Structure 1
């Protein structure tokens, strides 16, 4: 899979984590959730615990999202189509929910806590160490939190090889895998069987061509049943194009320049390019966010940025 979260590799400066400390913040909902999940009621003790996991995760790979505590932000639960995702878990028999680019597993745990059946959930990420740190963060074990985890690269055809999206007239040839057997080693057997896919802080890591490739790969995982959906959020722009601020203009590890979709270009990608025109409903909105200049890395000093919050639902 491609890099998790914001993905931009930070400089290995000794003060990077200290600089981001000012971003440690949880509202009442997030605090209540963390206390319940960890069993730690004392807020100072909880903060120390979170900071220790953050430092350990940052040492594995210095992602910007770890430095700025993105793993505490309840991203999935605050997307407009979140309740639609939860409804699939209660209304559809054997619905499968995939959280791709899951990092520590914060969002998938929140969805389970809010009612999505745990036996129908699977998570995937490039770095298996992050999933292990998730157990450490939430004080769980593979036995107490038995969600299957698959390490892999979403651009590796051995892990996920794209095909045309499945339809009612062209259903997946293989039966739905039994997640309880925990025998999956790749996402390919799930093609055509996933009811809901969450992919946040993921697409914006790549150029326009690679984002289209990733969209096609995820689309082939989706069940052809009406209501099957993809949901996520990542950096976007009012008008589609390459990033213009300092940190995001830099070339990525693969030499590419980051590309930002607008709501209009994002809808056009899914409705007409990835899926046949008129077979999906795309909802995408921009939310303006303010970023602290010393952690945003903007050479221009402009701290304004946008999150593109979206869902793609099969009709």
Structure 2
């Protein structure tokens, strides 16, 4: 199989799907031949990497169905089944693979909305899954969640909004959804920003979450046993840049007592140690410099 000239470093050889991932991608794309599916996914990966060279694209992270393996996922599906009019927001949705997985597993499509800074990735998602805006009618909002014109600042609601949420297909910003969203998924997102913007992002998501008990924000991202600017990752041009990582303890403190009034949310965290072969020696943590830490978490309204 050929690869695009100059993109051999993307490591198509690292492509692999387990049984669940293979079943999902075959069902969603309609491609049932393993080699044909591999060729298709690798071609989309190469195209997406040209838009912005995120390491997660290079590692085929978009094939890993990470949302379904998060501790908050069952609560998301439960809300979709039991809460009338439940709304699910996939923020930083990239190709929309997690958005589609939630729908595939039963969350009502009419209650789903996705958002990302770059529309190109959502469009590439249609290419990846061989769909169109007509065949896959989930509203997509392109925008910068830090911009007050896209999401106006607001404190978390303590009582349900006095009006119903507008039809999702009519939205051009997230502001009308203050206090209306039952579940928010945010993975591989927070660690992209310095500490001050991670706090601002958490406040933004908190303002969108419904005050009804069981409403949840959940996800995963890079973390550390002790918070601080202590982890470096490859930048766009191969240089190394410093990044901020929360610890499980500081992450809990951020949500319970800072974003939300203390005691009105429950916060779960699980720190996992992983080995990253794509990290250069001395870049990560641990004796070999190639250890990284990943935080799985959820924040639930009580």
Q: Which bin holds the TM-score, normalised by the shorter protein? A: over 0.9
Distance 1:122 1:244 in 2: 32
Determine which structure has the larger strand proportion and give its number: 2
1:83 alignment partner in structure 2: 74
2:114 alignment partner in structure 1: 123
Distance 1:229 1:91 in 2: 14
Q: Deviations over 1:95-127 (max 9, x none)?
A: 000000000000010000001000000000011
Helix, strand or coil: the match of 1:259? strand
Distance 1:159 1:289 in 2: 35
The total of aligned residue pairs comes to 292
In structure 2, stretches of 5+ residues that fail to align are none
Q: How does 1:257-296 map to 2 (within 5 A)?
A: 257-292=242-277, 295-296=278-279
TM-score when normalising by structure 1: 0.89
RMSD: 1.8
Contact 2:268/2:299 (8 A) holds in 1: yes
Which of 131, 137, 141 pairs up with 1:146? 137
1:11 alignment partner in structure 2: none
Give, in angstroms, the shift of residue 172 of structure 1.
2.9
Contact 1:232/1:311 (8 A) holds in 2: yes
Residues 178 and 298 (structure 1), Cα distance of their counterparts in 2 relative to 1, 3 Å cut: farther
1:59 alignment partner in structure 2: 50
Distance 2:183 2:271 in 1: 22
1:177 alignment partner in structure 2: 166
Residues 19 and 150 (structure 1), Cα distance of their counterparts in 2 relative to 1, 3 Å cut: closer
Give, in angstroms, the shift of residue 164 of structure 1.
0.6
Distance 2:167 2:71 in 1: 30
Residues 243 and 23 (structure 1), Cα distance of their counterparts in 2 relative to 1, 3 Å cut: farther
Q: Deviations over 1:74-108 (max 9, x none)?
A: 11100012111110000000000000000000001
Give, in angstroms, the shift of residue 58 of structure 1.
1.1
Helix, strand or coil: the match of 1:283? strand
Contact 1:245/1:299 (8 A) holds in 2: no
Q: Deviations over 1:164-205 (max 9, x none)?
A: 10012xx435431112xx221110011110000000000001
In structure 1, stretches of 5+ residues that fail to align are 1-13, 252-256
Contact 1:104/1:133 (8 A) holds in 2: yes
